[in-house]
Amino acid sequence: MTQFSKAINESELNWYRVNLTKRKELDAFRNIIIEKVNAINTDLFGNNAEFVGDEDKTDVDDNKRSFLIPSNSTDVDGYYEAIMNNIKFSCWVKCTEEELNGMLNELNSKQITADASRKSNSGTIRVADENEVNTLRWIITHKPQNLFRVSATPKEAVHATLVVQGGVVLAGKLVKMRGKVETDKFYFKVIDTTLFMIVSKGTANESGDFRQEYKDAKKAKGYDEINNERHWMVLRASRGSEQTLENRLTRWMKYKEEQSNGEELGIQFETYLPIFWKEVKKGSSQATEQRKALFCPGYLFIRTSINDLLKLETDKTWDGGYISRLLVRESRKIDITNKAMTISDRSMDDFKFIVNSNLTNITLEADDFIDKEYVRYFNKESALHQKIGQIMHKGDKLFITFCNLDGLMSYFKGTEVNSSEIRKLTKKELIEAGLQKSRK
């Protein structure tokens, strides 16, 4: 790793792999790891902070320590057993390096021989890849039966991502099956084992090579303007790692600014992680508490340009991998390449307003309404008074929904309205809002 990476790893939370030497100590080894992680969380966050492996959680808990312990079940099939043979005497811990050393000292004091994975050339502790940990957790939790081992990924495979149960994003490669079939093959690697699964056509998202996207844009007329133009884009991250990704981007930018000695960097980006406050029950009691939660788990918004992302990915101090492969992309059409999807500033402003208003009628999926035209909403008692929304109908009832992020997704539940509370937008208003192009 670079000097930059080493510096942040010493003080930040990271995933580490801890390996047990003697098999007979497995139960004691696991118990100590669990006790230490829960004890650290309790010290930092109180008695209700024990780690719970809830993959659907939306709480913002990036600072909580965590662990992943493989199952000791022997009732497994082929590929799973092969993976388990490599990891059943290991566990993964998310903590600081200082806390990890404390766990190792605790193990050694009880004559349990265990150590963290280290780099062979330097002996320094190796940081585990968070995406690989998320993938491994998904395999251990769900034991999918449509996985198969292979020796290598085919050469014709293209870079792609696949969102699986629990909001985990698998980064791998896609092979499109030919002929009259409704499936493709998705290849990915975890713990040095190459696997593939049969997926329905259109399930995996091709990410392509970002450099090829750059070259395609360069061929276009006015490519300099296209590549340097900044837009809001969306990164698809595994649930639970959204804030980690944002922190990594922020730390990298801060490091570059410190090293620039006041000179202009020539790179800019702005991130936005939508967070709101929600009420949750405290244990089995009826008492509630306010807790920060992610408005749309699995997504991080970033305002930047193609050129700036390319500079980030090729910078030697960046250790976050190919971030461009996490970009949500437009659907392929006959005359359109697989470009990153962009969101207008107006839509993002509306989106931020709704999130910051801390409204309670939030949903994580679009409702099954039929889209209608854009209207302005009038209700002086609502925080959305005079905001532009999209009118929809379901049966004989009218509903209005806001903030569809230019068709990317709709997180705001439709609210029933009367016809007297809405007004159709004029052509001038549509043009000013960027919802319709002016004819010159």
* SS3 annotation, 386-418: CCEEEEEEECCEEEEECCCHHHCCCCECCEEEC
Of 285, 307, 342, the position where a domain reaches its end is: 342
Question: Per the structure, how many domains does the chain have?
Answer: 4
Shared-domain flag, residues 190 and 226: no
Shared-domain flag, residues 220 and 278: yes
Give CA torsion, residues 7, 317, 227, 238, to 10 deg: -60
d(CA 108, CA 111): 5
Q: Is residue 138 part of a domain?
A: no
Q: Which residues make beta-bridge pairs with 115? A: 19
Give the amino acid at 84.
Answer: M
Shared-domain flag, residues 200 and 219: no
Q: Is 357 helix (H, G, I), strand (E, B) or coil?
A: coil
Shared-domain flag, residues 75 and 156: no
d(CA 33, CA 92): 9
127-128/14-20 β-pairing: antiparallel
Domain that holds residue 218: 212-342
- Asked if residue 253 lies in contact with residue 309, where contact means CB atoms within 8 angstroms, the answer is no
Q: Is 208 helix (H, G, I), strand (E, B) or coil?
A: coil
Q: Is residue 399 part of a domain?
A: yes
Of 342, 371, 394, the position where a domain reaches its end is: 342
Q: Is residue 401 part of a domain?
A: yes
Shared-domain flag, residues 171 and 244: no
Shared-domain flag, residues 123 and 26: yes
Shared-domain flag, residues 7 and 83: yes
- Identify which of 277, 269, 278 has the alpha carbon closest to the alpha carbon of residue 246: 269
- Asked if residue 233 lies in contact with residue 329, where contact means CB atoms within 8 angstroms, the answer is no
Of 159, 176, 206, the position where a domain reaches its end is: 206
* pLDDT on residue 334: 38
Shared-domain flag, residues 414 and 299: no
d(CA 342, CA 335): 17
* Residue tagged 């150590």 (tokens): 115
Provide block-wise average pLDDT over 10 residues at a time, the chain (440 residues): 40 84 85 91 69 50 80 54 74 91 91 88 83 85 82 88 82 87 90 87 74 61 69 84 85 85 80 81 68 80 86 80 77 52 84 72 43 78 80 74 62 71 81 70
Shared-domain flag, residues 198 and 218: no
Shared-domain flag, residues 393 and 286: no
Q: Which helix (H) or strand (E) holds 271?
A: strand 270-272
Handedness of CA 254, 94, 159, 236 (dihedral sign): negative
d(CA 341, CA 409): 12
Q: Is residue 120 part of a domain?
A: yes
Q: Is residue 19 part of a domain?
A: yes
Q: Is residue 440 part of a domain?
A: no
Q: Is residue 347 part of a domain?
A: no
Shared-domain flag, residues 48 and 121: yes
Shared-domain flag, residues 202 and 218: no
CA-based diameter of the chain, in Å? 80
Which CATH number belongs to the domain containing residue 402 in this structure? 2.30.30
* pLDDT on residue 27: 87
* pLDDT on residue 335: 38
DSSP label at 284? Answer: T
Q: Is residue 437 part of a domain?
A: no
- Asked if residue 111 lies in contact with residue 41, where contact means CB atoms within 8 angstroms, the answer is no
Give the amino acid at 247.
Answer: N
d(CA 178, CA 219): 30
Structure tokens at 275: 């967070």
Q: ∠ CA 302-305-308 to the nearest 5 degrees? A: 95
